[in-house]
């Protein structure tokens, strides 16, 4: 019976039918009747598969003893996850709806059968040779991946992570242009390697290392919610901020003012006409699902190119159909970048990354030997091809648009209902919910209050991420196979958590 239930779960979550959920949490045994009705409407109940590993306490002790002390866990009592299927995760005795997707990494669903099968078939024939020899999967996958890219973005270099991809893109931009300075945004996250940490403009992610900012400048972030300028007409999202705005439809005054600040950066802080490049996430991920003012990115790309630089789009979190309307987040900005970096959802959890650019730009790597031992290995390429197939076959980009917009609208209703929700934003299944102490001033909700809401959601069976500079944003980036039934469950859980929090604090 357990196996049958798991098979039904996989089929329902991956095939688009209603995914059934069961609230399996303790000690919260008393739930509103509305939530009980929601649970009764599901088709089946899911039991946690038996866990036969080390006990929770043993794992905690091993973690303390052998892992570096900076490795921390979510939640007061961390989860010990041992199985995943579709949009569901299991710890020792409970099931959870995963609305964070392994930090925006599980794109087509946990343990998707087609992706699993592709990996299993490949590991029986060839694990690794490195690229000093040719193996067919590398070339098949390269052709398949670049077919998804516009313009002359037809050359790919495979790596193993987003940090590696952005690291390489920085080097390529500097080699190609002969310039050194690179621009990124305040509030951006582009990696945590010693090289990319300079691009990342969050003090919480930066170590005091010498030379970290060598040649890197951080531009003012064109954020229409918490930035200096912006408001209800300034964002490309199904849900607009409630902040007042003088902009007319089709014209964003905030973009003009943020763009003027970028021009000032070029005028005062860069050698005249000499920049290596500019990095931008299509939607900022770690920064709290921050979207830019309308039209800003296109104008910024033009300015960078006019000064000799390359524009680099970081699609590590926003690529592969997650934003719904487009396959790549940069398409919403009406640009074709010079370099695109990608990782996370590219492999559905398998460690992979890639840099895609034009042949002309890629040729600069021929100036010296450059090699990545594991990039483009047979196992990774088999997984990557299967992920591309599943996104197309199961129409997950369309599902991201339909289900994501449905969720955004539901969250908008919760924003209007609860004072603690200051902003709802995003596109497709890349969503952020900013929690505030005061809607008028947009003062962020303090950590203890945020954690109270966040923990209640976990206890009721829903896992949300956490982000933003002040760690006050619910990051909602689930596997792209989730259903409207999953959304309804998540919204109801969040509604209850917000109401209970309000009752405790007022």
> What does 314-338 look like in DSSP terms, one character per residue?
E-TTTTTTTTSS-SSGGGGGT---S
pLDDT reported for residue 131 = 81
Contact 288, 473 (CB under 8 A): yes
Ramachandran quadrant class, 278 (left: phi over 0; alpha: psi -120 to 50; beta: rest) = beta
Per-position pLDDT tens, the chain of length 506: 333 333 333 333 333 333 334 333 333 334 555 555 554 343 334 567 788 889 999 999 999 999 999 998 999 999 999 999 999 999 988 999 999 999 999 999 999 999 999 999 999 999 999 888 899 999 999 999 999 999 999 999 999 999 999 999 999 999 999 999 999 999 999 999 999 999 999 999 999 999 889 999 999 999 999 999 999 989 999 999 999 888 877 778 999 999 999 999 999 999 999 999 999 999 999 999 999 999 999 999 999 999 999 999 999 999 999 999 999 999 999 999 999 999 999 999 999 999 999 999 999 999 999 989 999 999 999 999 999 999 999 999 999 999 999 999 999 999 999 999 999 999 999 999 999 999 999 999 999 999 999 999 999 999 999 999 999 999 999 999 999 999 999 999 999 999 999 999 98
Which two tokens mark 38?
């929601």
Contact 243, 231 (CB under 8 A): yes
Residue 10: how many CB atoms within 10 A of its CB?
19
**Integer Cα distance of 287 and 291 in angstroms:** 10
Which two tokens mark 37?
């009705």
Contact 288, 475 (CB under 8 A): yes
Candidates 355, 366, 390, 356; CA nearest to 160 is 355
For the question of whether the overall pTM of this predicted structure is more than 0.85, the answer is yes
pLDDT reported for residue 32 = 53
pLDDT reported for residue 31 = 52
For the 53-111+396-505 domain, the top CATH level (class) is alpha beta
Q: Where are the domains of the chain?
A: 53-111+396-505, 113-394
The dihedral sign for the CA sequence 497, 408, 288, 97: positive
pLDDT reported for residue 46 = 54
How far lies 16's CA from each of 345, 390, 478, 483, in Å? 19, 13, 14, 6
Angle at 77 between CA 71 and CA 82, to 5 degrees: 75
Q: Give the strand pairing for 421-427 and 83-85.
A: unpaired
Three-state DSSP class for residue 450: helix
**Integer Cα distance of 239 and 439 in angstroms:** 16
Which two tokens mark 60?
């905690």
Three-state DSSP class for residue 313: strand
Contact 103, 8 (CB under 8 A): no
Which residues contact residue 12 at a Cβ distance below 8 angstroms, ignoring those fewer than 6 apart? 18, 19, 20, 43, 86, 483
**Segment holding 388, helix H or strand E:** helix 378-393
- The CATH architecture annotation of domain 113-394 reads 3-Layer(aba) Sandwich (3.40)
Residue 339's beta-bridge partner residues?
312, 357
> What does 267-294 look like in DSSP terms, one character per residue?
HHHS-TT---EEEEESSBTTTTSB-PBT
How far lies 111's CA from each of 53, 121, 317, 353, 399, in Å? 19, 15, 19, 19, 19
């Amino acid at each position: 019976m357990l196996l049958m239930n798991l098979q039904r779960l996989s089929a329902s979550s991956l095939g688009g039918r209603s995914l059934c959920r069961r609230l399996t949490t303790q000690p919260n045994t008393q739930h509103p009747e509305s939530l009980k009705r929601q649970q009764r409407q599901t088709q089946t109940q899911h039991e946690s598969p038996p866990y036969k590993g080390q006990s929770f306490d043993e794992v905690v002790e091993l973690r303390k003893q052998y892992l570096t002390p900076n490795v921390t866990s979510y939640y007061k009592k961390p989860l010990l996850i041992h199985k995943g299927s579709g949009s569901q995760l299991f710890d020792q005795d409970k099931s959870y709806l995963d609305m964070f997707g392994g930090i925006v990494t599980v794109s087509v669903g946990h343990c998707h059968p087609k992706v699993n099968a592709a990996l299993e078939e490949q590991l029986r024939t060839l694990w690794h040779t490195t690229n000093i020899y040719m193996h067919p999967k590398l070339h098949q996958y390269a052709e398949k991946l670049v077919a998804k890219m516009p313009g002359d973005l037809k050359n790919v270099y495979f790596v193993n992570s987003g940090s590696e991809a952005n690291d390489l893109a920085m080097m390529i931009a500097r080699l190609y242009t002969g310039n050194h300075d690179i621009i990124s945004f305040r509030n951006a996250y582009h990696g945590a390697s010693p090289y990319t940490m300079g691009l990342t403009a969050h003090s919480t992610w930066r170590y005091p290392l010498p030379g970290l900012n060598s040649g890197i400048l951080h531009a003012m972030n064109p954020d229409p919610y918490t930035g200096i300028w912006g408001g209800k007409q300034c964002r490309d999202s199904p849900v607009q901020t409630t902040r007042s705005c003088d902009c007319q439809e089709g014209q964003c005054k905030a973009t003009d003012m943020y763009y003027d600040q970028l021009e000032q950066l070029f005028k005062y802080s860069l050698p005249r006409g000499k920049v290596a490049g500019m990095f931008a996430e299509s939607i900022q991920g770690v920064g709290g699902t921050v979207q830019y003012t309308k039209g800003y990115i296109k104008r910024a790309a033009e300015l960078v190119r006019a000064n000799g630089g390359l524009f680099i789009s970081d699609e590590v979190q926003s690529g592969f159909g997650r934003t719904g309307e487009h396959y790549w987040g940069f398409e919403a900005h009406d640009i074709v970048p010079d370099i695109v970096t990608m990782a996370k959802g590219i492999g559905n959890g398998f460690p992979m990354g890639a840099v895609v650019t034009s042949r002309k730009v890629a040729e600069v790597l021929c100036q010296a030997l450059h090699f990545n031992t594991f990039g483009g290995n047979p196992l990774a390429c088999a997984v990557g091809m299967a992920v591309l197939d599943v996104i197309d076959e199961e129409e997950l980009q369309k599902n991201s648009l339909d289900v994501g917009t449905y969720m955004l609208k539901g969250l908008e209703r919760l924003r209007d209902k609860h004072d603690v929700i200051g902003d709802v934003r995003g596109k497709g299944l890349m969503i952020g919910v900013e929690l505030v102490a005061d809607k008028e001033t947009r003062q962020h909700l303090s950590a203890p209050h945020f954690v109270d809401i966040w923990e209640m959601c976990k206890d009721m069976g829903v896992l949300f991420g956490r982000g933003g500079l002040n760690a006050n944003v619910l990051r909602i980036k689930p596997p792209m196979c989730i259903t409207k039934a999953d959304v309804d469950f998540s919204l109801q859980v969040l509604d209850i958590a917000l109401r209970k929090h309000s009752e405790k604090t007022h």
